Amino acid sequence: HRARKRFEGFTEALAKSGVEIADTEFYSKGSALKKGREMTQAMLARSPGLDCLYYSNDIVGAGGLLWMMEQGYDIPGKIGLAGFNDVELLQGLPRKLATMDSCRAEIGRRAAEIILERVENADAPTAGKVELSPKITFGDTLRMS
């Protein structure tokens, strides 16, 4: 559900800038490095001229990155890659995947603080809107031009 909503927002924002999605590949039943490898291979077989692949999460993106490196793709010279979630586990990859940190840890901390405030003082006013700003890490897989 969340990945679908992100994709809808992503494609809408691109469309407003005059950029159209050239190809898509969807999956179900969990994400894994293997899914990223398989999906990347399938997309590039169908659409070899793509200039960037955006993955719904970093694990799938890492699988795509590893497959493309094995195949000798020029990353980011000829094709860029980006993931989502800034998964710390992937910091040992040969290249740092471009990604966006959606502030998951901060969301968890703030939620816990709000719950604790209510437990400690049931009469406390309800917390107002909490707004966090995602952070983009460009890594080594996007060309900055």
Question: What tens digit of pLDDT does each residue of 47-73 get?
Answer: 999 999 999 899 999 999 999 999 999
Are 70 and 55 a contacting pair, CB within 8 Å? no
Q: Cis omega (within 30 of 0) on the bond before 94?
A: no
Per-residue pLDDT tens digits for 96-114 = 999 999 888 899 999 898 8
Q: Are 56 and 87 in contact (CB under 8 A)?
A: no
d(CA 61, CA 84): 8
d(CA 12, CA 18) in angstroms, rounded, equals 10
Residue 121: its pLDDT value, please? 87
Q: How confident is the model at residue 11 (pLDDT cuts 50, 70, 90)?
A: very high
The bridge status of strand 135-137 relative to strand 99-101 is antiparallel
Q: What is the spatial distance between Cα 23 and Cα 103, in angstroms, rounded to a whole number?
A: 28
**Length of the chain counted residue by residue:** 145
Quote the tokens at residue 107: 């969301």
